[in-house]
Amino acid sequence: MIDLNDADDESEFLKALKRTIFEINQDQYMIMEYLGPVVDGCRAALNVNIKDATSLDEITDTQFEKFMEETSESFSDITIRMNDIDTNEVLTLSFVDGQVEFDDETEEPNVYILASTNVMLTILDADPRASLVDLLSGSLEIIAHDSQDAIEAIGFLCFPALQRAASLGIDPSNLESEDADSIITSTATELVTSALKQWIDVQINHASP
């Protein structure tokens, strides 16, 4: 198991991922409590069949609840392997009941994330000069046998940007509860749905002849 304390000889990629894991587990802004339901909703949406998707406004509350019930809780049991394609450094992390840790024993993860060192650092450090949506167009690849798992990986990659937004002023402790919920949920929804749409577009383009 990888020690979460930084060492001088560690790669910048490892240090950045350690910081992200620490922030998720500490989560002073409760970001995962907002990201989780948004990711749950996106995953539930993929359970909607084509016929129902063309008439979403006609879906009953009971049908909607059924879609949600058929979707397992996000970030409760998933393993993500991140591969720095510049250095071939491979790091694997697992979510278990909302907490995340390095996992060097998993042989087959649920999701693979591949990118260059610079792209990995850009995402993990929430560099405002490059968005996840832009990087998903070609610089960063998410591979999963199950699209439900891919959506969870997208949610994970949205955490640094949402956490950065919170640290710059969207702090629930400084806002009325209702205002904080609205602002953070709106920001999380925009981040996740935009990235998911881009990922789906990329999959469709790759599948086209």
CATH number for the segment(s) 12-50+73-207: 3.30.1050.10
pLDDT bracket for residue 56 (50, 70, 90): very low
Cα separation of 89 and 185, whole Å? Answer: 34
For residue 18, how far is the Cα from the chain centroid? 16
pLDDT tens by residue, 4-31: 666 778 999 999 999 999 999 998 788 8
Q: Where are the alpha helices (DSSP H) in the chain?
A: 12-26, 31-45, 50-53, 61-69, 117-124, 132-135, 147-167, 177-207
Q: Where are the alpha helices (DSSP H) in 168-176?
A: none
The domain spans of the chain are: 12-50+73-207
pLDDT tens by residue, 159-186: 999 998 887 765 555 555 557 678 888 9
Q: What is the pTM of this model?
A: 0.86
Q: Answer yes or no: are the C-beta atoms of 159 and 32 closer than 8 Å.
A: yes
pLDDT bracket for residue 87 (50, 70, 90): very high
Cα separation of 172 and 201, whole Å? Answer: 34
Q: Please provide the DSSP assignment of 74-105 as one string.
A: TTSEEEEEEEETTTTEEEEEEEETTEEEE-SS
